[in-house]
Structure 1
Amino acid sequence: MKKSNYSYIGISFIILVFGIYFIPKIIDRIKNDDVSREDSRTDFVNEHKSTPSDLAFIKINGKPKKVPHFSFINQDGKTITENDYLGKVYIIEFFFTTCPTICPRMNANLIKIQNEFTDFDNFGVASFTINPEHDTPEVLKAYAEKYGVTNPNWNLMTGNQEDIYKLANEGFNLYTAQDDSVPAGFEHSGNFALIDKNGFIRSRVVGGNPIIFYNGIISESEKVDETGMEQEITMLKEDIAKLLKE
């Protein structure tokens, strides 16, 4: 018999042994749903891949605007910087604890947002007091407890007033000023800024243009204010959810 025939017989024998030994095992795996589980794992990974959202990057001089450096003390006496928020989606606000007008409404809205994202450990809030002389870490701690702040990524921060005002007015273009002629002696924007996981300011596009900020004063239950302006808290929640998926 030729050598080539021996080779064919050997290969056929190996194929036969493979079929006898392995095919029943493959059938068992299919019956036991092992293959399906692999497919499910693949589906899970594909389903949870990050996907870019339709939210715009706020651009200054053609470049996406990023949160500038900051370093302040939070309600627990810890130093917090912008780096503590990397990898998180978060809201920025400027407020003060003795504010008699818009701050209570803003923070009531933030509490409701907080409570809708309790399952996300990468969601947070950065609140900067514009009255740091009064708002010590102890005062901020009491304020947080009063309003029901439970998110570990919600930092209420105090520090040098000049630095805070610069962060507000130049870093975010959120108006802040000390004015003895107004109630409680301070003025500030009632808007929220939305920040993505990489520290960029993002917003929804309406009518072809980014809205830049979200009104933080009008609640979902109020729907509109006395001027007819519609609430934007629902919009903000939807956009937070989009950024969390990125």
Structure 2
Amino acid sequence: MKVSTIPASFWRPLKASLLSASLLCCVFACNSAGDKLPVLGEKEVITRTVDGKTVTDSVAHQIPDFAFVDQYNDTVTAKTVAGKIYVADFFFTSCPTICPKMKVQLKRVYEKYKGNPDVMLLSHSIDPRHDSVSVLNEFAANLGVTGKQWLFLTGDRDKIYDIGQNSYMVTAQEDSSVPGGVVHSGAFILVDKDRHIRGIYDGTTAAGTDKLLNDIDRLLTEYKS
């Protein structure tokens, strides 16, 4: 099974709302040291009634509730990451191209924050028909991953694809135009404790992961202050 090349698979997933020069700058360029990380994604307009009056507010994009199964056969939901910063990505265990690069880079994140109760990693398989609980358990063990700080998730394929494209703003879908019929993003997505996306990074490169590591530190500092 093969995926598309890095540039096509990485940029294609970003929603049209992100493809402005200013927002791309927020995603990929370093902000000044004192600035907070931006909250990415389209705001949702909601209408509610307060004291008999209609009030319209806009709320930041937020990762919705979800339910998948990890390599230990435990159900993972939004409650699992409540009060934590986490990094999400999409992969499949038999991927011979960008996934091995991504896992080398994400292992760096795992090693740096191993034992930190405020940081988790969620890797979603886009090939759940093959990537069963036992396959993911073996995959994690071969990476040297122990404990429950880095979880490898499987579940309903459509729900995984949907949360990737509509919530994490990256693509994970079947595509008959590419060898193997599967395309997915090489992005790492940084999510804060309120399930807001605070950064999207090229997970296939050391430079992209260096930026992610820096921004995780900034986000941890933001919560401390």
| TM-score normalized by the length of structure 2 | 0.73
Corresponding residue SS for 1:60? coil
8 A Cα contact 1:53 1:243, kept in partner: no
Q: Which 5+ residue runs of structure 2 have no aligned equivalent?
A: 1-33, 44-57
C-alpha distance in 1 between matches for 2:147 and 2:35: 25
CA distance in 2, matches of 1:74, 1:53: 35
| Greater Rg over alpha carbons, structure | 1
Q: How high is the sequence identity, in percent, across the aligned residues?
A: 34
Q: Does residue 57 of the first structure (1) align with residue 39 of the second (2)?
A: yes
Q: Please list the CA deviations of residues 21-43 of structure 1 after superposition, one character each: whole Å capped at 9, or x if unmatched.
A: xxxxxxxxxxxxxxxxxxxxxxx
Q: Structure 1 or 2: larger strand share?
A: 2
Q: Deviations over 1:189-237 (max 9, x none)?
A: 001110111211113xxxxxxxxx1000012xxxxxxxxxxx2111100
3-state DSSP of counterpart to 2:212? helix
What are the within-5 Å matches in structure 2 for residues 172-187 of structure 1? 172-187=168-183
> 5 Å matches for 1:1-246?
54-61=36-43, 63-150=59-146, 152-203=148-199, 213-219=200-206, 231-245=207-221, 246=223
Unaligned runs of 5+ residues in structure 1 are 1-51, 204-212, 220-230
- Work out whether residues 114 and 149 of structure 2, in 8 Å CA contact, stay in contact via their aligned partners in 1: no
Q: CA RMSD in A?
A: 1.7
Higher helix share: 1
Letter aligned with residue 243 of structure 1: L
Moved over 4 A (4+): none
Structure having greater relative contact order (Cα 8 Å, sep ≥ 6): 2
Letter in 1 for 2:220: L
Query: What TM-score do you get using the length of structure 1 for normalisation?
Result: 0.67
Residue aligned with 1:244, SS? helix
Cα deviation, residue 53, structure 1: 6.0
